[in-house]
Amino acid sequence: MAEVLIVGQGLAGTWLSWWLYRADVSFNLIEKPDPDGASMRAAGLINPVTGRRMVTTWMIDELMSFASGAYGEIGSFLDDSFIKEISLIDLFPSVQMLQAFKKRFDEDKTYLHPGETGEKYSAWFRYDLGWGAIGPCALVNAENLLARWRTWLKKKELLKESLFELSNLQTSDQWIEYLGARYDYIIFCDGKASVQNPFFSKLPFALNKGEGLLVGIDGLPGGLVFKKGMSLVPYRENIYWLGSSYEWSFENDQPSANFRKTAESWLNYNLKLPYSILEHFAAIRPATLERRPFVGFHPIYPQVGILNGLGTKGCSLAPFFAKQLVNKLTGEGTINPLADINRFEKILRRE
């Protein structure tokens, strides 16, 4: 029998299963494939400086370094490449963003590079307030990683492609049982589904909806992300990911006419090249109120764990915190207290 049952094979489940494999901990994984899951629709950009105030993202120095090594390691194992260094060209959309960039640069020049020639990208984009570069950033091919790892899991007969039914789960102080098979642990990496999971529904999730487009564009300078409010991220050859929205109140998880209209207006106004819209998609992100992930084991049910709440930062958070969770499980390390669900112990102990 395997030691761990993992529910979900997005970025969280992929990285958790990888580190369990590296630690020689046996596991099985169960997931019904979802082509519109948040991990499958991720742009894959790890951006060290974000927001209107141009702040450095949480733990970014440690996360960037760890991600580079982790994606390189799994890439070597699967004989593929999943991460590359890239720069983001910030075409300032407003005076406020220009000033925020300058203020941040004066205080801390790390990751920021002022644009040396204001008109450098004017052959391809319309912008009036100049530009600055952010880098190094990293670009992860999340879709390819998930597909390649899924193929490996299936080859090793470690993946069951079916819907996880909580009603079939039994727990005790020493084991869990699912459809007649016993495990030492079950760990939920199932994204938005954990909001309705009775073990973890009390955690302060804050689901949000994101939408994007895949756009065909010929002639843009290669190896760069362009941002002017929305981001235009290299996806495949001459295909770009354009997005994304952040909707905290939404009626469904389907693509909306309103976003499509907004995105087309962005393209028509800012891009000087012809384009074709190839796909319009939407996904629900498992974000959290604190913007910190949920990692660890339930205080009442110690055989039940979670790796979730990664929000828009899954490409950087998943490899790092999956490793910490495996280290915790094997007794070789601890979980960062700002991510450990022990910070919600009182809430999780409530009936």
Same domain, 60 and 89: yes
pLDDT in tens, 14-57: 999 999 999 999 999 999 988 878 888 999 999 999 888 888 99
In whole angstroms, give the CA distance from residue 234 to residue 89.
12
Q: Would you say 163 and 8 are in contact if contact means Cβ atoms under 8 Å apart?
A: no
Here the CATH number for the domain that contains residue 149 is 3.50.50.60
Q: Judge whether 154 lies within some domain.
A: yes
Same domain, 220 and 276: yes
Q: Residue 18's closest CA among 59, 61, 76, 90?
A: 76
Q: Judge whether 9 lies within some domain.
A: yes
What average pLDDT does the segment 116-136 reach?
93
User: Dihedral through CA 341, CA 342, CA 344, CA 345, nearest 10?
Assistant: 130
Q: Judge whether 180 lies within some domain.
A: yes
Same domain, 175 and 117: no
Same domain, 195 and 300: yes
Q: Would you say 307 and 203 are in contact if contact means Cβ atoms under 8 Å apart?
A: no
Confidence grade of residue 191 (pLDDT, cut at 50, 70, 90): very high
Same domain, 64 and 118: yes
Q: Would you say 243 and 230 are in contact if contact means Cβ atoms under 8 Å apart?
A: yes
Confidence grade of residue 61 (pLDDT, cut at 50, 70, 90): very high
Contacts 24+ apart (CB under 8 A), 227-230: 227/88, 227/89, 227/90, 227/91, 228/90, 228/91, 228/92, 228/93, 228/125, 228/127, 228/266, 228/270, 229/93, 229/266, 230/263, 230/266
Same domain, 250 and 344: no
Cα distance between the two ends of the chain? 32
Same domain, 10 and 81: no
What's the predicted TM-score (pTM) here?
A: 0.95
| Residue 184 phi, psi (nearest 5) | -75, -35
Number of domains in the chain: 3
| Residue 104 phi, psi (nearest 5) | -65, -40
On average, the pLDDT of the chain sits at 95
Instruction: Identify the domain boundary among 138, 155, 170.
Output: 138
What average pLDDT does the segment 78-102 reach?
96
Find the domain containing 89 and state its range.
51-138
pLDDT in tens, 252-278: 999 999 999 999 999 999 999 999 999
Q: Judge whether 167 lies within some domain.
A: yes
Instruction: Identify the domain boundary among 120, 138, 156.
Output: 138
Same domain, 76 and 113: yes
Percentage of the residues of the chain whose pLDDT score is greater than 70: 99
Q: Judge whether 46 lies within some domain.
A: no
pLDDT at 110: 93
Same domain, 133 and 150: no
In whole angstroms, give the CA distance from residue 234 to residue 225.
7
pLDDT at 1: 61
What average pLDDT does the segment 188-214 reach?
95
Q: Which amino acid would we find at residue 62?
A: E
Q: Judge whether 104 lies within some domain.
A: yes
Same domain, 158 and 303: yes
Q: Judge whether 128 lies within some domain.
A: yes
Given strand 159-160, what is the order of strands in its sheet? 159-160, 27-30, 4-7, 185-188, 304-308, 294-297
In whole angstroms, give the CA distance from residue 204 to residue 292.
10
Same domain, 198 and 295: yes
**Residue 280 reports pLDDT greater than 80:** yes
Degrees to nearest 5, angle at CA 304 with 299 and 305: 90
Q: State both tokens at 334.
A: 């601890």
β-bridge pairing 176-178 and 181-183: antiparallel
Q: State both tokens at 98.
A: 């220009």
Q: Judge whether 330 lies within some domain.
A: yes
In whole angstroms, give the CA distance from residue 2 to residue 185.
9
pLDDT at 351: 64
pLDDT at 240: 97
Q: State both tokens at 318.
A: 């998943």
Burial annotation 306-337 (CB, 10 A radius, 16+ → b, else e)? bbbbbbbbbbbbbbbbbbbbbebbeeeeebee
Instruction: Identify the domain boundary among 245, 269, 285.
Output: 285
Same domain, 183 and 241: no
In whole angstroms, give the CA distance from residue 293 to residue 271.
36
